[in-house]
Chains A and B, each alone.
Chain A
Amino acid sequence: MSSIEVVDLIKSFGPLTAVDHVSFRVEDGEVFGFLGPNGAGKTTTINVLCTLMRPTAGRARVAGYDVATQRNAVRQSIGLVFQDPSLDDQLTAYENLQFHAHVYDVPGRERAHRVEEVLRVVELWDRRDAVVRTFSGGMKRRLEIARGILHHPRVLFLDEPTLGLDPQTREHVWEYILEVQRAHHITIFMTTHYMEEAEHCDRIAIIDVGKIVALDTPDALKRMVGVDIVTVQSEDNERAAREIRERYGLEPQRDDTRLRLEVEAGAEFIPRLVRDLGVAVRSVDLHRPTLDDVFLKLTGRAIREGEADPLALMRLQGRLWRGGRR
């Protein structure tokens, strides 16, 4: 059975369409990711799915309930970890969870037991009586994850769950997330613009400018690029590009300083390239395809570049506007 079912979902803000005819399905127990640059429509999608925004058109069901007409039932069935912290930092960790247990109607007999259970999972039991203000970013995130599963939701939404955390903490937070997912057999829907993070997903939807451009397992997506990626920096990229085109029949992609080539066997190709080129080569880099390469291939842009486009700016304005109204 599907935990999430989205059909032709549209969400517009005035003239701007943030989510544009999006359809997908997430199966029970799956870890499903939305990958894309800031402003691609990831958070808007989450907001619609968790009933914080009403869809402009289309249909979405979460845990079997319609997000537009059965809002409270949806809310009871989901856990949320927002992009920005949403804890009361004047209360203790324990009190924050107590608050959550009450508003989600966790039965009185089970409350204490469940709060202890989730605090132990994220290793904050010893800090339960500390005021949240004294917590580090990673600890707050862990507490939010604990809170997100306290009422035993069927679907856990994670909106950029490790944004602003250092890489080590990020890894750590992921261990907790996957542990929770295994232990409770929860479906996870997450958004991210970190490639490494997307690797944790069973399936990924790559989203750009409000549309899903690809949807598959990380491995299958990478097979779309399929080959080795060689990046070259030379004294004269213009000329190098021309030579490569003529000599090997390859079409290099250019960014500011480098040429990017997709070749079958990169390790053997590099020595030939360096020998054959009429211009001096400054540096060469070889790597297996990453999701970044997939995104680049599909959209012609790197994921981080997407952040500066006009639509992203409009989205940002949209967020500021919404920030005021939510």
Chain B
Amino acid sequence: MTTAYASPVGLPMRSWQAGARANAGGIYIIWYRDLLRYWRNRTRLVSSLGQPLLFLVVFGSGLSASLGAGLTKQLGDVSYVRFIFPGIVTMAVLFTAVFSAMSVVWDREFGFLREVLVAPISRAAVVLGKALGGSTVAMFQGAILLALAPILGVSLDPLLVLKLLGLMFLTAFALSSMGILIAARLQSMEAFQMLMNFLIMPMFFLSGAFFPLRGLPAWMSVITRFDPVAYGVDPMRRLLLGADLAPGITIAGYHLGTAEDGLILATFAAITMVLAVWAFEGQE
């Protein structure tokens, strides 16, 4: 909405440059606020690491013992803990991104959203700032977990870390946008709890974090193809553990590579972003 206004006599015109500058300032400060709040709220920082770690330890150690030969045949000599590690990192990214986006619901409840919605910046700037904030925070959170890689025998080099950060940011951006789209119309924190149980958890479980997305029942296979998180887990696993363990999601017989995964995530992000802006525009 960086339109120039026909100015009444004697009033200064608001040029599109001024509008663009205000929007850029708005995006920056909304992003910065998310970082500030993340940094200030260190209990959240720690507790949202706790859950992925718990999954890693409990499932990693507990399941691998009882899964037996079937899994070993697929995984080769990679331990189950190592296998789910990329999924666990993605989990941290997913949860942090969605939680960050959901702070919109809190802001609505505590009134701060009005301060944002009545500001002379476009809704697109609001949504973009928020999504960037959530993505940055989620990327940090993923990076912290990534530091465990050497312990699990996964070696990291600077270029790989850079690629992983980029991937995590893109995944987080897609999921933040989705979160904001939902939060734009979500009325209460109770509703958010529902959402966690019936959307976010399934999205995580069906993402291929715990099992390879091959040889699944047909119905499940179809669902997983619609799970955006899957397109974050697959390339992450490929980057960390090699293409043998992550041969790519197949759609109609076609194996998707890392670039295609990224493209799907970006498309998903773009669509949810546009819808989120639209959802906010419609609000009074």
Contact = CB atoms under 8 A, between A and B. Distances in A.
B37 A104 contact: no
A38 interface: no
A282 to B, nearest CB: 47
A95 B121 CA distance: 19
A84 interface: yes
Given A52-B284, A90-B37, A325-B283, A85 B25 contact: no
Given A88-B33, A326-B284, A102 B114 contact: no
Interface in B21-57: 21-22, 25-26, 28-30, 33, 36-37, 40-41
Contacts of B162: none
Contacts of B120: 72-73, 75-76, 103-105
Nearest to A50: B118
Nearest to A99: B29
Interface residues on B, range: 35 or more
A199 B22 CA distance: 38
Contacts, number: 107
Contacts of A326: 108, 113-114, 117, 283-284
B111 interface: yes
Contact of A102 (B28, B36, B113): B28
Interface residues of A, number: 39
Given A53-B284, A86-B115, A72 B5 contact: yes
Given A52-B284, A87-B112, A91-B37, A103 B14 contact: no
Interface in B185-230: 187
A76 B14 CA distance: 9
Contact of A88 (B5, B25, B112): B112
15 contacts: A52-B117, A52-B284, A54-B284, A72-B120, A76-B14, A86-B112, A86-B115, A88-B107, A91-B36, A91-B37, A103-B116, A104-B120, A131-B40, A326-B108, A326-B117
A59 interface: no
A221 B141 CA distance: 62
Contact of A324 (B33, B115, B187): B187
B110 A102 contact: no
Given A95-B36, A102-B28, A103-B25, 5 more contacts: A50-B118, A72-B121, A91-B40, A102-B26, A105-B25
